[in-house]
Amino acid sequence: MPFKFEKLIVWQKALDLTGIVHDVTRKFPQEELYILTSQIKRAADSVALNIAEGSTGQTNAEFNKFLGYALRSNIEVVGCIFIAQRRNIIHQDDFDKIYNICEEILLMLNSLRKTLIK
């Protein structure tokens, strides 16, 4: 593994999130393709991409900034699933699956950020 982010469990978990979101959004109605489907997929991808982008060749302060972006994107995913729930386009088990992994990522990102602030 030549890249630092590949070893980060939070990045691996974020990569799992992108897969789950992709699978779940395939069940969304076609009318949501360029609206909610696109938004939640971009937000989920952004979690993993910001962790990766900030991890290599950056100062701790710069990495912390990118982790903050990842954190906000993670929260955006949660907001999207609440909207999907309100629109009756996500099953409860899919909602729970995404919500739980986002909660794990939130805790992991906050923990990692605390190690960088020292």
Q: What pLDDT is recorded for position 1?
A: 65
Q: What pLDDT is recorded for position 57?
A: 77
Q: Which CATH number does 4-117 carry?
A: 1.20.1440.60
Query: Rounded to two decimals, what is the model's pTM?
Result: 0.94
pLDDT in tens, 39-94: 999 999 999 999 999 998 779 999 999 999 999 999 999 999 999 999 999 999 99
The DSSP-derived string for 32-94 is: GIIIIIHHHHHHHHHHHHHHHHHHSS--HHHHHHHHHHHHHHHHHHHHHHHHHHHTT-S-HHH
Q: How many CB atoms lie within 10 A of CB 33?
A: 11
CA distance 47 to 33: 20
CA distance 114 to 64: 9
Across the range 111-118, mean pLDDT stands at 89
| Of the candidate ranges 10-14, 59-63, 76-80, 104-108, the one whose mean pLDDT is the lowest | 59-63
Residue 55 burial (10 A CB sphere; 0-12, 13-18, 19+): buried
- The residues spanned by each domain of the chain are 4-117
Q: Which helix (H) or strand (E) holds 20?
A: helix 9-25
